[in-house]
Structure 1
Amino acid sequence: MKKFILFFAISLTILSCNSDDDAISNETTVVGSWKLIEVYLDPGDGSGDFEPVTSEKIVEFRANGSVLSNGSICQPSPAIGESTSGTYSTEELIIVSEDCVDTELDIQYRLDGNNLILNYPCIEACSEKYVRL
């Protein structure tokens, strides 16, 4: 009987241990500030690749579902100055901005390791790559 109680106590202890794997870390959430580091523009033949850019463009995803940028989030561009804002959906992985009058299509985003990729609705593939600040 003592062995059974000891076995039960050890089993209960092992099963009651928490795993930190269930917690969402900063590295798996889009919330935070991101700096533009590369732009991808495909010429139409599949030969495009991400190219480094020198830019101070920042995109900030806030916990309340809003997204802000010191540059345009409507099209891939390293330029700053034209501030834009919008909202994002963590379920659909899209950004929607009323500031984007030229396009009615949503901007798709995804996390790729420590990078944020924005995929724009272009005829040929075009994207921006950001690094977390």
Structure 2
Amino acid sequence: MKKKIYYLLAFIAVFFAACTAQKGMSVHDKLEGRWALTETLNDIGDGKGKYVPVTADSAYLVFNKSGLINGNAIYGATNYKVTDNTHLAINIKGNTAPVNYRYKVDGNDLELNAPCREACGMRFKRMR
């Protein structure tokens, strides 16, 4: 009987540890990987802009855990730094200062919004 209780307690401890580890994923873990651009948002300033599907499937970004970015969805992007829960500072070749993007990761979906005068944005799907 005591063995069963110990096994049950051990199982519960492992279960809660696994749940906590999933919640405690770092932003780098969530961002890491290859992302395909699926939609873009452009607004001329009247607030009526909508996300539209991308017709070509060649635009992508690759976020490395070390902070490097590869890909062609953000021209000249070299590396990034997570500044808080909603912002990334992305260094771009030729710029003297990083560009602050808003971001949101939801499972296999990523949304990036550059600091535009009008609404603008990009949506990505994680590639396997």
Q: Secondary structure at the match of 2:112?
A: strand
For 1:110 and 1:132, the matched residues in 2 are separated by 13
State the TM-score, normalized to the length of structure 1.
Answer: 0.69
2:77 counterpart residue number = 84
Counterpart Cα distance in 2 of 1:110 and 1:100: 26
Counterpart in the other structure of 2:43? 42
| Equivalenced residues, count | 116
Counterpart of 1:53? 54
Look up the match of 1:64. Answer: 66
Q: TM-score, normalized by length of structure 2?
A: 0.72
Deviation, structure 1 residue 88:
2.8
Q: Offset of 1:130 from its aligned partner?
A: 0.8
Q: 1:15 aligns with which of 2, 9, 29?
A: 9
2:93 to 96, 99, 106: 99
Q: Secondary structure at the match of 2:6?
A: helix
Out of 84, 105, 108, which is 1:111 matched to? 105
Deviations along 1:50-109, one digit per CA (max 9) or x if unpaired, are 1011231110000112222224x2xxxxxxxx5431223274441321426287541122
Kindly report the root-mean-square deviation, in angstroms, between the aligned alpha carbons of the 2 structures.
2.7
Q: Which has the higher strand share?
A: 2
More helix by share: 2
Identity across the alignment (%): 28
Contact 2:91 2:97 in 1 (8 A): no
Change in CA separation of 1:83 and 1:96 when aligned onto 2, cut-off 3 Å: closer
Of stretches 48-57 and 15-24 in structure 1, the one that deviates more from structure 2 is 15-24
Moved over 4 A (4+): none
Does structure 1 retain, via aligned residues, the 8 Å contact 2:40–2:53? Answer: yes
Structure 1 unmatched runs, 5+ = 1-5, 74-81
Q: Distance in 1 between matches of 2:49 and 2:92?
A: 29
